[in-house]
Amino acid sequence: MEGSNVKKETIHSLKEVFFEEWGFIENLTNWREEISEEEVSEFLISLLKSENPLIRNKAALALKDRKENKALDPLLIAIFKNENHNYNGTMVYALESLDCSKKLKEIFKILFYESYESKISAYEILCNQTFEFTKQDLIEIQQMWRERKCRLEKYPLRKEVISMIQDAVDGFM
């Protein structure tokens, strides 16, 4: 039990001391003897809540490299957080190595509403992964796309982006 408390204190201290250190996140996996894989994963996931986009992105890339599927929901939460909309492309890119099979609507939401970089990664996910979905999911996706197309005057998209989105929608319909 005492060893567990020491590890928790160590993790907390590392967060405090190295939180802003760029190389720290990169080298975190080298500390396997002192910190378990589970603790490394939890730490990286916790960094997705950082207000610093560089820290979030570095953590997302580390989770992508680790193919850490338990990061799927935390990544989606960080992606859709209002303050992150202009800085979430790397986090969406990180989703490419994770199993998004049960997140079809969320991936389409990224494709419809997020930044260009995010749209590209979302499209890659839609093209390269297999999804589980219901007829209701498809109806909701169609409705989201209709609503997005109605707002093209206010929030325009380039023609090639509209074509890419339509291709993805048509592919699932």
Residue pair 141/105 in contact (Cβ under 8 Å)? The answer is: yes
Domain ranges of the chain: 2-172
Task: Band the pLDDT of 83: cuts 50, 70, 90.
Answer: confident
Token duo for residue 68: 């850490």
Class of domain 2-172: mainly alpha
Q: What is the pTM of this model?
A: 0.80
Look at 77 and 153; give whichever has higher pLDDT.
Answer: 77
Task: Band the pLDDT of 1: cuts 50, 70, 90.
Answer: very low
Task: Give the distance, in angstroms, between the CA of residue 41 and the centroid of all CA atoms in the same chain.
Answer: 15
pLDDT value for 17: 42
pLDDT value for 31: 55
Residue pair 41/98 in contact (Cβ under 8 Å)? The answer is: no
Mean pLDDT over 64-83 rounds to 92
- Give 92-137 pLDDT, tens digit per residue: 999 999 999 999 999 999 999 999 999 999 999 999 999 999 999 9
* pLDDT above 80 for 5: no
- Give 137-166 pLDDT, tens digit per residue: 999 999 999 999 999 888 889 999 999 999
CA distance to 19, 22, 56, per residue, from 52 (Å): 10, 11, 6
For the chain, the first-to-last Cα distance in angstroms comes to 54
- Give 8-55 pLDDT, tens digit per residue: 555 554 554 445 554 555 555 555 556 677 888 898 899 999 888 888
